[in-house]
Amino acid sequence: MIVTSTQADQHTWVLGFSGKLNFQSRQAYQTAVNQAQAASPRQIIFDFTNLSYIDSAGLGLLTVTHRKLTGAGIKISLANVQESVKQLLLLINMDKLFPLFDSVAAASQQPKTAEFSHS
């Protein structure tokens, strides 16, 4: 997996993922998330334009990331999610944790505060 990191504005980072989000890619994923978090953004947008596959390990990484970043007051959004990945996310209700957007621009227009859900 290849991860690109871009600062969209002073409060927003965009992480672009390509390839597969699975156990083998966890180190690259965690490094990118940690670097973005270190910049203290209000929002991180995961751009899944080129993410072709996600497995249970990848879903676990997303869940852990959600807890970690929302606990730090950072909102996470997913943009440009490929249909096969999107179907899986919807099937397991991950859209309840991560708002899904058709573009990075649409995701960046959302309020930059984290929303907390109470289970």
Q: What is the pLDDT of residues 82-116, one digit of tens each?
A: 999 999 999 999 999 999 999 999 999 876 544 44
- Give me the CATH code for the 2-108 domain, please: 3.30.750.24
- Please, which pLDDT band fits residue 4 given cuts at 50, 70 and 90? confident
Domain boundaries, the chain: 2-108
Burial class (CB in 10 A: 0-12, 13-18, 19+), 17: buried
Residue 103 contacts by C-beta under 8 Å, 6 or more apart in sequence?
A: 79, 80
